[in-house]
Amino acid sequence: MSQQTPEHAPDANYDFIVVANRLPVDRITDPDGRPGWRRSPGGLVTALEPIMAASTGAWVGWHGATDEELEDFDKDEIHMVPVSLSEEDLELYYEGFSNSTLWPLYHDVIVPPEYHRTWWDNYKKVNRRFAEAVLKVAAQDATVWVHDYQLQLVPKMLREVRPDLRIGFFNHIPFPAPGLFAQLPWRRQILEGLAGADLVGFQREADSANFIRSLRRYTEYSVKGHEATPDASYPLRNVCRAAAHPISINTAQVAELSKDPEIQERARQIREGLGNPKTVMLGVDRLDYTKGIRHRLKAYEEILSDKSLQAGDVCLIQVASPSRENVDRYIQLRNQVELMVGQITGQHDTLSHTTLRYLHHSYPMREMIAMYLAADVLLVTSLRDGMNLVAKEYVAAHENERGVLVLSEFTGAADQLTQAVLVNPHDIDGMKKKIVQAVNMSETEQARRMRRMYRHLQDNDVVGWSQKFLLELASINVHATT
């Protein structure tokens, strides 16, 4: 990668740059038939929009179409820097190394990761392309914030060329224990890629500790507390700090939507469409093997079969939004889940009552808030989850202090939403008891638990998350060892 400084790059005048796999926009066609862009829903762009507006901000990411080169463009006060991906890149870098190597490895090897050198080679190539896009627009002493497991090599690539940059990285998914991470043939390269950042943020303290322990074990970095320094012979001299910065949601926005009369009416209609059962339970997940959907369905089927809850009294809505539908593991999972759904409905549905409503769709935020309001109990049974923002959205939607959150202890959210009914999804009998406990919980107990969780979300929303991360990044003396 050639040296590129503001003097050599005319566009290098952006002092705050976000780097993520996707741009925060979706392509649309306006009513006149002209192509355009619409801001994507999502917490990350909500958190960073004020910072972007207050600075000269750029966002580097893929625009969503393959084999297409786009010029930079501006949208909602953000300068968009599209990175092109080919069909081969999508197959090897994204579906391959990112989602069939790193994703299962980082989620405790729930399914076996695959290690292919062709995937790794393409991952390196695409990461370099993202880094070059940053170098094209980064002003002198700019702050660059890189996001997630698809781009773990970018910090080092930037540091090698531009030691003046202040570089942060945030890992939105778990980071595995050193014993699991050891499987990765390219473990040293990934660790050194991340350590090119001044601050590496994680969802949980345990993830931060796993990263530091892996640096100590598999690289030449010296570790003291939460900071790592490279060996004297290493070309990069920055100190890398690891810290937990759990992400959150736009609490005020979700709470405000929950008071919308139209959304409240929609919630009433949802319950009516289910036959107005005494209890509505809800699961909202991407159709991913990490989410524990099969464990949840198994527990629910046994609850109905042993009549701990009566089929006519309870209904489960399971939203399973499509995910990575070209990856074999996800095709298998969909087939397994749909078979279980058919068995449950065939055995327990009646002409007047629905026991399970399975929805293989994605829904806009307003419809999701209506589902949250319609649900007496939310079931989050992830086998491993970096955070799980659905759990936080459910709490924020229930400012009225009604509802019960059943939450897997293997989610990052379990560290903060401690008043949830915590479950081990591998313990089917234990989970069944906790689900029945949630359904039968008194309104007084519901209010006590929800009140404390709601207050936590008010004090720790997504804007506060980004501000705290960037304040810590700004406090680090990036030139201390350069």
As annotated, the active-site residues are 172, 385
Q: Please give the single-letter amino acid code of residue 468.
A: K
How far, in Å, CA of 358 to CA of 316, rounded?
A: 8
How far, in Å, CA of 319 to CA of 284, rounded?
A: 5
User: C-alpha dihedral over 260, 254, 411, 188, to 10 degrees?
Assistant: 140
| Residue 174, burial from CB neighbour count under 10 angstroms (0-12, 13-18, 19+) | buried
**386 phi, psi to nearest 5 deg:** -55, -50
How far, in Å, CA of 161 to CA of 135, rounded?
A: 8
Q: In Å, what is the CA distance from 234 to each residue of 41, 192, 231? A: 41, 10, 5
Tokens standing for 130? 């993202």
Tokens standing for 374? 């319609």
Local structure of 146: helix, strand or coil: strand
Tokens standing for 254? 């979700």
Crossing angle between the packed helical segments 365-374 and 251-258, to the nearest 10 degrees: 70
How far, in Å, CA of 355 to CA of 345, rounded?
A: 6
Q: Is 233 left (phi over 0), alpha (psi -120 to 50) or beta?
A: alpha
How far, in Å, CA of 330 to CA of 288, rounded?
A: 7
H or E segment to which residue 301 belongs? helix 293-305
Determine how many CB atoms are found less than 10 A away from the CB of residue 213.
16
DSSP classification of residue 425? T
Q: Please give the single-letter amino acid code of residue 477.
A: N
Those residues whose C-beta lies under 8 Å from the C-beta of residue 328, and which sit 6 or more positions away, are: none
Tokens standing for 55? 């600075």
